[in-house]
């Protein structure tokens, strides 16, 4: 079984005038094959930094991260990131954007790209350019681009944060369909409590900076989930208590 392991990881940035800024302190977690795990915490707690470390985009300052037992030191094809901004190339159409990574690696297969477009229901938009798409459609393309290489892990950094409520709801449903259909393993950063409970098998709660893992909460609710369910609200209350405490703690430290 594949797994992503974060073991006592710390990350310190070199700040202005040589001062050090500690972003993450002694954080540990494990994500197993097929899981959907959300990372929740106040702004500035190191959620995005932790994702970048898992993707191999940054090096840890202490501890280690491994994928399938192999330490992450550089970008790993088994794990791809989906960012808050879709980062599509405006001069390429949807099909070319989705297949761009494969083309750069010299492994592009037109049938492979077409299959992904079909599975995520983007075929009729294959010749559209990013400026012709809505915000939600652009994120669908970004997710398709991540999926085309068949990664074991999708690392998602607040991918729906810039979307309006209606589009966000639709994209959350789309992501759950992708997760079920592709058997992906997802590590999903969010600051939205409802989103974390709605989507995840487990919610990892991080402290105010420097980020530490405070608690891991298993969401024992059947799918599909409803935000109006009394049991859903129980998780909302529990997580809100964590978030309020950490937000106030962060304000005191500043």
* Residue ranges with strand state E in 15-118: 20-32, 36-40, 62-67, 70-71, 79-82
- The fold of 3-78+155-253 is Rossmann fold (3.40.50)
Q: Give residue limits of the domains in the chain.
A: 3-78+155-253, 86-150
Task: End-to-end CA distance of the chain: give it in Å, rounded.
Answer: 42
**CA gap 162, 168 in Å, rounded:** 9
Cβ-Cβ contacts under 8 Å for 164 (sequence gap 6 or more)? 135
Nearest to 143 by CA among 102, 115, 171: 171
pLDDT tens series, the chain, 254 aa: 679 999 999 999 887 777 888 999 999 999 999 999 999 999 889 999 999 999 999 999 999 999 999 999 999 888 999 988 778 999 999 999 999 878 777 666 768 898 999 988 899 999 999 999 999 999 999 999 999 888 899 999 999 998 999 999 999 999 999 999 998 899 999 989 999 999 999 999 999 999 999 999 999 999 999 999 999 999 999 999 989 988 887 676 65
**CA gap 82, 186 in Å, rounded:** 11
**174 CB burial (10 A radius; 0-12, 13-18, 19+):** middle
Query: What pTM does this model have?
Result: 0.92
Quick check: 1 and 189 in contact, CB under 8 A? Answer: no
Q: Indicate if the alpha-carbon torsion angle 20, 242, 223, 85 is positive or negative.
A: negative
Cβ-Cβ contacts under 8 Å for 132 (sequence gap 6 or more)? none
Backbone angles phi, psi at 2, to 5 degrees: -75, 155
């Amino acid at each position: 079984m594949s797994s992503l392991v974060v073991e006592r990881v710390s990350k310190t940035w070199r700040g202005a005038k040589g001062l050090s800024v500690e972003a993450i302190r002694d954080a540990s977690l494990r994500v197993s094959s097929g899981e959907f795990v959300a990372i929740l915490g106040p702004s500035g707690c190191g959620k995005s930094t932790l994702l970048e470390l898992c993707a191999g985009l940054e090096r840890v300052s202490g501890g280690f991260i491994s994928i399938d037992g192999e330490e992450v030191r550089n970008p790993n094809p088994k794990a791809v990131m989906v960012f808050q901004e879709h980062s599509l190339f405006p001069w390429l159409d949807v099909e070319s954007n989705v297949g761009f990574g494969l083309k750069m690696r010299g492994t592009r297969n037109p049938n492979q790209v077409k299959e992904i477009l079909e599975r995520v229901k983007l075929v009729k938009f294959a010749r559209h350019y990013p400026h012709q798409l809505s915000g939600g459609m652009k994120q669908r393309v970004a997710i398709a681009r991540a999926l085309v290489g068949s990664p074991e892990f999708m690392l998602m950094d607040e991918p729906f944060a810039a979307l309006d409520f209606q589009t966000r709801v639709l994209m959350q449903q789309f992501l759950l369909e992708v997760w079920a259909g592709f058997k992906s393993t997802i590590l999903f950063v969010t600051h939205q409590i409802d989103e974390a409970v709605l989507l995840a098998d487990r919610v990892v709660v991080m402290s105010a900076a420097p980020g530490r893992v405070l608690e891991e909460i298993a969401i024992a609710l059947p799918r599909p989930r409803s935000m109006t369910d009394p049991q859903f609200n129980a998780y909302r209350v529990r997580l809100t208590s964590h978030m309020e405490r950490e937000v106030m703690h962060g304000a005191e430290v500043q």
